[in-house]
Amino acid sequence: MSEVRTRFAPAPTGNLHVGGAHTALFAWLFARYEGGEFVLRIEDTDELRSTEQSLRAIYDGLRWLGIDWDEGPDVGGPYAPYIQSERLEVYEEHIDRLLDAGRAYRCFCTPEELEERREIMRARGEPPRYDGKCLELGEEQRQTLLAEGKPYCVRFHVKESGTTVVEDLVRGEVSFDNSLMGDFVIRKTSGYPTYHLAVVVDDHLMEVSHVIRAEEHLSNTPSHVQLMEALGFERPQFAHLPLIMGTDRTKLSKRHGAVNLLDYREQGFLPEAMRNFLALIGWSPGTDEEILDLQELIDTFTLEGVSKSPGVFDLEKATWLNGEYLKQADPEYLADLLEPILREEGLIEEDLSAERREWLVAVVDLMKERTRLLRDFVTWGRYYFTNDFPYDNRARKKWLRREEVPERLDMLADRLETLESWDVDGIERVIRGLADDLGVSAAKVIHPCRAAVTGQTIGPSLFHLMELVPQRDVVARLRRAAELGRAGKMEPIPEQDEQ
């Protein structure tokens, strides 16, 4: 009775989007914090838009974030099945009960008629709700229409007066005027139940204790409550979460670009960072802590900490947070995540030898301090993997096009070519030695060398980075840059962004 059971009940239409993931995360965290159960239920009562592919995307997305479910379509459970299209008889039964009790009735109005009448109501400035036409149907007319085989849907007859009060754990008491509600459809002409009927029946049958969902459902809740009352169900607790909005302050949707959770995996987000970031939209642990691992999230999550106002999905902050996670991450782990990405870019071979793998881990360890997304490894870190990298304009302007540079690069190439031990100390000795012999500061050699070897003016410690690039390649890069410089081919590229 006091057991907490929450659920995430997505419609398998399209990808798991960020908003859905946010809702799922909160419902899951609450269940975990309370030591209760978390159920995954698939609401595919939209027969036309539901797809198998979408179902897989939901599984993938949730798993990626580290959200697991105690009961669900794939794992089963005591209240199976967990896919609504497989529970049709259950809904039918409840619809019949409402029909028998006179709380629901068959409606023969066609969509066209409905639309027409709604239009009229709108024109008159009235709320465009169902006018109750078929409620007035006499038994005889009903039988005739039925006998004619006229298609119908079933509508729930809402209370005509009074108010319905919803007790919400996030928002407090919210009341709705019953006279403003229209009789809504609970069984479509197709025979499928609508969301409103199915959600109410399933939450009851599956003994969901806390209905945690996004705020867009708050307005539907009085309808659900009336359905529960008519069916004699006990009310669950409700908690309506703030919506996630795009930067234009409307509900995050396809229009905003990347709303598919898994797109962020593609972009190089770590799941723990995305999870942490999502948790921070509309919730706060109440302290200044912002970087919270899974266990900390579970330990500190409460509904009291959930805010009422919607939050904007701030990609900048998500990226920063990801960078923080990257810094702290185990290089072996990051290398695992990076391998497929690098392979896809053609930057590493299919099978990594133990030695190559070790090298990759070293590259990751050196770079992770200053990356924010895994993808940064293939852009900023491209020079570790291939000699085919661009020279950015800063490198060109500051060093590579300068007159004295080519000669120095060649001298450095000559000395490095014969270096016996290709390691940090050896490399540093050669570079500083050349600077000494030239009577210039070390920086005057270091900077051009970095520009020639990486194409950039910034990056990790030069000596450490060079150690990870084959000696032969470094020498070749130095000579190539010298040659291009002399040929006047190191001028800044106009169309390239210079900052």
Q: Which residues ranging from 465 to 494 are in contact with RNA (CB under 7 A)? A: none
Please, what is the minimum distance in Å from the beta carbon of residue 443 to RNA?
Answer: 5
Stretch that binds RNA, among 28-36, 89-97, 170-178, 268-276 (CB under 7 A): 170-178
- 9 in contact with RNA (CB under 7 A): yes
Annotated catalytic residue, options 188, 251, 254, 489: 254
- 459 in contact with RNA (CB under 7 A): yes
254 in catalytic set: yes
Q: Considering beta carbons, is residue 177 or 266 the nearer one to RNA? A: 177
Please, what is the minimum distance in Å from the beta carbon of residue 253 to RNA?
Answer: 8
Residue whose C-alpha is closest to residue 132's, from 117, 112, 116:
117
Residue 238's H or E segment, with its range, is: strand 237-241
Stretch that binds RNA, among 95-103, 114-122, 261-269, 292-300 (CB under 7 A): 114-122
Q: Which of 133, 171, 235, 375 binds RNA (CB under 7 A)?
A: 171
Please, what is the minimum distance in Å from the beta carbon of residue 335 to RNA?
Answer: 19
Query: For residues 272 and 257, is the Cβ–Cβ distance under 8 A?
Result: no
Q: Which of 180, 205, 440, 493 binds RNA (CB under 7 A)?
A: 180
Residue whose C-alpha is closest to residue 2's, from 165, 237, 227:
237
Burial of 355 (0-12, 13-18, 19+ CB in 10 A): exposed
Query: For residues 225 and 174, is the Cβ–Cβ distance under 8 A?
Result: no
Query: For residues 6 and 30, is the Cβ–Cβ distance under 8 A?
Result: yes
Residue 6's H or E segment, with its range, is: strand 5-8
Q: Where are the beta strands (DSSP E) in 410-455?
A: none
x/- string (CB under 7 A) for RNA, residues 342-381? ---------------------------xxx----x---x-
Stretch that binds RNA, among 32-40, 174-182, 201-209, 268-276 (CB under 7 A): 174-182
x/- string (CB under 7 A) for RNA, residues 133-162? ------------------xxx---------
- 269 in contact with RNA (CB under 7 A): no
x/- string (CB under 7 A) for RNA, residues 393-432? ----------------------------------------
Q: Which of 447, 475, 477, 479 binds RNA (CB under 7 A)?
A: 447
Q: At what angle do helices 405-417 and 443-454 cross, to 10 degrees?
A: 80
Q: Which of 78, 172, 232, 494 binds RNA (CB under 7 A)?
A: 172
x/- string (CB under 7 A) for RNA, residues 207-246? --------xxxxxx---------------------xx-x-
Query: For residues 348 and 360, is the Cβ–Cβ distance under 8 A?
Result: yes
Give Cα 43 distance to the centre of its chain: 20
Q: At what angle do helices 443-454 and 424-438 cross, to 10 degrees?
A: 130
Amino acid at 381: G
CA dihedral sign, ordered 32, 64, 206, 26: positive
Q: Considering beta carbons, is residue 3 or 146 the nearer one to RNA? A: 146
Query: For residues 162 and 152, is the Cβ–Cβ distance under 8 A?
Result: no
Helices (H), 124-269: 139-147, 195-205, 221-231, 261-266
Instruction: Give me 21's structure tokens.
Output: 């993931």
**Footprint on residues 272-331 left by RNA (CB under 7 A):** 280-284, 286, 288, 290, 305, 307-312, 314, 316-317, 320, 323, 327
Q: Considering beta carbons, is residue 209 or 371 the nearer one to RNA? A: 371
Please, what is the minimum distance in Å from the beta carbon of residue 34 to RNA?
Answer: 19
Q: Which of 127, 257, 340, 346 binds RNA (CB under 7 A)?
A: 127
Instruction: Give me 14's structure tokens.
Output: 């399209």
Please, what is the minimum distance in Å from the beta carbon of residue 356 to RNA?
Answer: 24
Q: Considering beta carbons, is residue 295 or 309 the nearer one to RNA? A: 309
Please, what is the minimum distance in Å from the beta carbon of residue 272 to RNA?
Answer: 16
Q: Which of 178, 189, 237, 387 binds RNA (CB under 7 A)?
A: 189
Alpha-carbon distance values, 411 to 190, 277, 325, 397, 417 (Å): 81, 50, 41, 21, 10
Burial of 432 (0-12, 13-18, 19+ CB in 10 A): middle
Stretch that binds RNA, among 61-69, 194-202, 399-407, 473-481 (CB under 7 A): 194-202
Three-state DSSP at 154 gives: strand
Q: What is the CA radius of gyration of the chain?
A: 32
Burial of 406 (0-12, 13-18, 19+ CB in 10 A): buried
The set of catalytic residues is 254
